[in-house]
Structure 1
Amino acid sequence: MEEITKHINDTNASYRHVGAGDAKNTDLFLDNEHYELFRDRGEQITVRFDKTNLTQAILFIASILPRKFDQSANHYIVKYSNEFVFDQLAILDALFKEEGVPVNTITQTWNARKDVVKKNGDIDNRFYFNNLLKDVEFRDHNGDIQTTKFTLRNYLAGGFSNLNIKKTPDGIFDIKIDNVTEPYDDGKEIDLEEIVTPSIRLNDISSRQLICYGAPGTGKSHCIKEETDEWEKKGRVVRTTFHPDSDYSTFVGAYKPTTERVQRYDIYNKPITKDGQPVMEQIITYEFVEQAFLQAYIDAWRNRDEYEFLIIEEINRGNCAQIFGDLFQLLDRGNDGYSEYSIRADKDLQKHLSKVFEDIEIEDYPNIKNGKELLLPSNLYIRATMNTSDQSLFPIDSAFKRRWDWRYMPIAKGNDNGVELNWQIDIDGKRYDWWTFVKTINKHVFDTTNSEDKQLGFFFCKAKGNIIDAETFVGKVVFYLWNDVFKDFGFDAPIFADKEDETNPKLSFDKFYMANGEVNKDKIKIFLANIGMIPTEETVEDDEDESADSSSVKIPKYSINGSSEQFTTPQAVRRIIEDYAKRNESISVNEMIELWNGISERNNLLVDSWQPSPNDNQPFANKRRTKIEWKNGVVWVTNGWTEALFKKFMDNVKQRLGINILKVN
């Protein structure tokens, strides 16, 4: 086999049919039988592209637009335009250069992936290539310098394209693309990638107005951000935050004074000049200034084929009746997604809207175009957050509530794209599980206040590299608990006891800071001990120096797969990971981190960069992690282990990789 032809369905193409779901895939999948062509080439191949062929491919794509464009986190409809063609040809001109000189062919190195061990220990038997992306800087149709990602997938049209790969005598694989006139799916790429159906469609009327509510830190804003992220990248999201001083004019818009530089005239209405140049002056004029609602409203009407989102943070901190005014009536939506009832615009707003809509066509709603009426279009979605712990000065009335859908955000352990977050509180090298703390303190909060509103969500404060340091813990968590939760109920409960202070045996907030303004970590430990928190990770074995007095502490030693060589806990972990990296030289840093963090069930076993904190004065601070290098990258492995964590690691590597670790002393 010296050549293969692969028909391209949507899975391998950046340009898909318009109704395709969203896919984040950037790899190129081939059929398993195609593996024979590459079997003897190891884990990397060199491919060669021809400029003329890629030019023909992108011009073919231009001829069949509109198409759905999918690349990583980018998902949008591409319509034909002269600008599109110009920019695509400019990208190829910039790509096919060597040291500034135009060339007809270029090469690229791809990683071949077959029978890869997945995070759950299963074998991925798909055959595919990765490392397809390359940054390209080009000058666009406006003459501006832009940076984009080149990938072969950008020249493939789902259903139309055939990919031809031919092995040449020089060991390079030539890439050629041709296209059929009638698209078809050969069914060979089913279930090769995860397709995500966008969470909202234009004909979905169930959640055009949605309020996400819950305790602080439950991820209300994050939930909305995930839902609207792809449209925010297109400039289709407008944000605002309500507060007690918000009103109709700050939400919708109003005439405001502004300065304008104009020609000065004399009393005879003749322009004044000096040395042949006009004399200018600053005058005060008034112009209509759009605020968040009007910005979203106008954008939505300008392009009704695209979603438009208005996001209101902290909606219950403002007087909604005062802020919305008669816009309140627009929140009643019909089955078509448009407001059931329109409202009359005042003279100022009518004048502004008629000017704004002058250059667009709204033939089906003439009174919208002339600005006389306001009506929410079906593509305008409103999202809001409401923090139930805030003691709002302006309760939301039931009539307003009825016009919204409500989504409760429960207190739950955080995750990132389906992977659980195992955040730790770090106090003087002692690690406490953040999620255990949240659940524990929330029980005390509920028992004290008889309410869930003041409880903490998982994202109440942000971790840095999965670690919540002492300063963040006191500044965010302790401050909130002492000043917003327990202040009105007293501090007589045992969790506030300070047994080390006989004079003042209560943990008052000021005790969490020393006279020099630094956090008092000893008081944090007392508080955590009071609520029953036990460190989950506090040992960093100094495996590089075994000259320490071993009579007081016996360091456990282990063997790997029956070897006579003995290892400490971190040495054993490091040796296993190093051996794996040597056997899989082409594995990427991200793949290494995902695999081993999954096997160890520790979100921070491996990280891609690390250095000791300059403020970390604990013993062995510079040995908390050790570098592991291989051909394709560098990671840092933790040296901090508890007996329970290492027992779990031993069990998992045996079950998933067949590696047997035995304790020898």
Structure 2
Amino acid sequence: MAFTEKFDYIKSILEKEYKVKIKEDDYDAFIIKQLSESNCIVKDIQSNQSHIAITGAQMEVFPYIYSKKYIEENDNKMKNYFVIKVPVNIYRNNCEKISENYIEFKDQEVLQEDMCVYPRSGGSQIQLSLKRNGDSQNFLKFRELIKPNDYLILMKKQNLLEYDGFIIEQKYITEKKYNSVVEIDRVSDKNITFVTKKNIIYERKLLSFPHQRIFFGAPGTGKSFELNRQAVENFEIDEYERVTFHPNYMYGHFVGAFKPFPRILKTANGDIKKDADGNIQETIVYEYVPGILMKQLIKALKNPNKNYLIIIEEINRANVAAVFGDIFQLLDRNIEGNSEYDIATSRELQEYLKKELTGIYNERLGKDFSRLYLPSNLYIWATMNSADQGVMPLDTAFKRRWEFEYQGVDNLNEQDFENYEFKINHSQKCNWNDYRKELNKRLSNLNIPEDKLIGPYFISKSILKKNIVELTKTIRNKLLMYLYEDVAKAFRSSLFAEGKYSTYSKLCEEFDKDALSIFRNKIEIEIKEIISEKLKNTNEGENEKEINVAEDLNK
């Protein structure tokens, strides 16, 4: 079986009009497909339509991975679980004839690019090209050269999972019989095309979380803990970075800035240049130093099949309007998760992007990297504690671009706190969580805002897990200070018992005597005797410390 005159016809057009020579023996199959407007990619116009549908006999020319869950059971989650990425060679003469210098070939006549192949419509069709997170950028530019009613030619190499791709403009083919053509010339069933693991890509994991979210709540509600748990579960360790905002944190730290660096001067021979006294000569040069956002953004643009995350602790402790600057405009995301709008880049940032993204084309960035946006695989999550003093307010426009997730003061697993106990007097102890909840009731009765109440992790988990002596010290020093100097400063007489709060040191002394009786109405919760435990655990020694805790606390 050999190719018909249709191959010769296409071959003659390629040679005559595009100065591209091909040989029949190099191929074992080819397709000709006239593309409609819906199959074309229009430059600078965002569209959900990005594929080329292949049906019928033309499907035999391309491999795809069968998914029973998707094709037979219609499980949409399995739609792009596996995608085959096949190499397609595009030719300089073919592309230059259509649009000169649109694709940068440099000194090469042929570029090998990537095209995705995957099933759709219950397996009754396959689709070529995956615009988002799939095809190489030069292949997408190749597709942008195709105008409605032009012809796409894909020729499969003999026994190889590799194709040559050509465009023939509509004006060179006038016969309708070329609208949809497929020919296969497989000499024998021993001619096998092997699909190797390098041809298969795993699509980026799609996350169900918002791209920008802020965890907020009272002190100690586990905001950082919950954010970090979700980061570890959904991102690899090299995919997320953490930063803490503070009042002196600025745009140059977060995004990037031009900074001076000393550089040692060298001679034409590469030797270090020295003055007459033998001192090394230096000069000052300026380089663009990226901040955490720019570093993560570059990773996301280079690796569109991976997700990246920026974690911001205490986002409202800095002036966010100054820190984000023009990046604020990029926080508006479209339905795909990309920035709705682009921003113009500065000259120094353009040069940095050119250096970091060499060989990577992205139509939204522009050929000269004059524009910038946040891609759908970049996430920004933050924590915020509005109860802290001296924090910066977030304006309404900024907040509107984030999803807020409240961490309640009692949003916890009660069983996790059953064993966290501290000393309330010389011989008795109580549960930290019971104590905290009763204290919150009293604060609420004084109309203290919820974001100033005591969360279960107000005392960090590392301290809660320590022995009773260390935990008691921390509760006395940290909790009492917070109550006395901050949250209940204006309500001391209403919260604390008469004669027990004249000074902070006086309050600490009364706490050592009886931690339940320092309040106006004594806290009534379950208490346990320490001595009875000592009789059960005479060999452990830990209870020895508990008996002498009053002395230990004052050391």
TM class by smaller structure: 0.5 to 0.7
- Give matches, 1:402-481, under 5 Å: 402-412=400-410, 414-415=412-413, 419=416, 421-427=418-424, 428=426, 430-462=428-460, 463-465=463-465, 467=468, 469-481=471-483
In structure 2, relative to structure 1, the CA distance for the partners of 1:465 and 1:390 (3 Å cut) is closer
Aligned to 1:60: none
Whether contact under 8 Å (2:337, 2:375) holds in the other structure is yes
- Give matches, 1:244-255, under 5 Å: 244-255=247-258
Query: What are the Cα deviations for residues 209-241 of structure 1, in whole angstroms up to 9, with x where unaligned?
Result: 111111111111111101101466531112122
Secondary structure in structure 1 of the residue aligned to 2:259: strand
Secondary structure in structure 2 of the residue aligned to 1:304: coil
1:410 to partner: Cα distance: 0.9
Counting strand residues as a fraction of each chain, which structure ranks higher? Answer: 1
2:372 maps to which of 371, 374, 389: 374
1:259 to partner: Cα distance: 2.9
Q: Tell me, yes or no, if structure 1 residue 219 matches structure 2 residue 215.
A: no
In structure 2, relative to structure 1, the CA distance for the partners of 1:355 and 1:203 (3 Å cut) is same
CA distance in 2, matches of 1:233, 1:394: 32
1:209 maps to which of 212, 218, 238: 212
Secondary structure in structure 2 of the residue aligned to 1:483: helix
| TM, length-normalised to structure 1 | 0.46
Aligned to 1:618: 548
Aligned to 2:484: 482
Aligned to 2:301: 301
1:493 to partner: Cα distance: 2.2
- Give matches, 1:169-188, under 5 Å: none
1:370 to partner: Cα distance: 4.0
Counting helix residues as a fraction of each chain, which structure ranks higher? Answer: 2
Q: Tell me, yes or no, if structure 1 residue 527 matches structure 2 residue 524.
A: no
Aligned to 2:361: 362
1:240 maps to which of 227, 232, 243: 243
Secondary structure in structure 2 of the residue aligned to 1:537: strand
1:385 to partner: Cα distance: 0.9
1:333 to partner: Cα distance: 0.8
- Give matches, 1:52-91, under 5 Å: none
CA distance in 2, matches of 1:213, 1:542: 40
1:346 to partner: Cα distance: 0.9
CA distance in 2, matches of 1:429, 1:531: 18
* Equivalent AA in structure 2 for residue 335 of structure 1: I
Whether contact under 8 Å (2:212, 2:380) holds in the other structure is yes
Aligned to 1:330: 330
Q: Structure 1: which 5+ residue stretches go unaligned?
A: 1-17, 21-200, 499-504, 545-569, 575-608, 622-665
In structure 2, relative to structure 1, the CA distance for the partners of 1:617 and 1:451 (3 Å cut) is closer
Whether contact under 8 Å (2:240, 2:311) holds in the other structure is yes
Q: Radius of gyration: which is bigger? A: 2
* Equivalent AA in structure 1 for residue 351 of structure 2: K
- Give matches, 1:116-131, under 5 Å: none
Secondary structure in structure 1 of the residue aligned to 2:444: helix
Whether contact under 8 Å (1:237, 1:309) holds in the other structure is yes
CA distance in 1, matches of 2:503, 2:392: 32
* Equivalent AA in structure 2 for residue 541 of structure 1: S
Secondary structure in structure 2 of the residue aligned to 1:527: coil
* Equivalent AA in structure 1 for residue 420 of structure 2: W
Aligned to 1:491: 492
Whether contact under 8 Å (1:495, 1:531) holds in the other structure is no
Secondary structure in structure 2 of the residue aligned to 1:316: helix
Higher relative contact order (CA 8 A, sep 6+): 2
CA distance in 2, matches of 1:437, 1:384: 30
1:383 to partner: Cα distance: 0.4
CA distance in 2, matches of 1:239, 1:494: 39
Q: CA RMSD in A?
A: 3.7
1:409 to partner: Cα distance: 0.8
- Give matches, 1:257-336, under 5 Å: 257-263=260-266, 272=273, 280-336=280-336
CA distance in 2, matches of 1:351, 1:406: 36
Secondary structure in structure 2 of the residue aligned to 1:305: coil
In structure 2, relative to structure 1, the CA distance for the partners of 1:377 and 1:528 (3 Å cut) is same
Residue range with higher mean Cα deviation, 436-445 or 253-262: 253-262
Aligned to 2:232: 229
CA distance in 2, matches of 1:538, 1:413: 29
CA distance in 1, matches of 2:219, 2:534: 42
Whether contact under 8 Å (1:215, 1:389) holds in the other structure is yes
In structure 2, relative to structure 1, the CA distance for the partners of 1:241 and 1:508 (3 Å cut) is same
Aligned to 1:104: none
Whether contact under 8 Å (1:242, 1:315) holds in the other structure is yes
Secondary structure in structure 2 of the residue aligned to 1:443: helix
1:395 maps to which of 393, 396, 402: 393
In structure 2, relative to structure 1, the CA distance for the partners of 1:373 and 1:611 (3 Å cut) is farther
In structure 2, relative to structure 1, the CA distance for the partners of 1:442 and 1:301 (3 Å cut) is same
In structure 2, relative to structure 1, the CA distance for the partners of 1:539 and 1:347 (3 Å cut) is same
Whether contact under 8 Å (1:307, 1:379) holds in the other structure is yes
* Equivalent AA in structure 2 for residue 308 of structure 1: Y
CA distance in 2, matches of 1:347, 1:494: 59
Whether contact under 8 Å (1:329, 1:341) holds in the other structure is yes
CA distance in 2, matches of 1:408, 1:257: 43
* Equivalent AA in structure 1 for residue 439 of structure 2: I
In structure 2, relative to structure 1, the CA distance for the partners of 1:413 and 1:391 (3 Å cut) is same
In structure 2, relative to structure 1, the CA distance for the partners of 1:435 and 1:372 (3 Å cut) is same
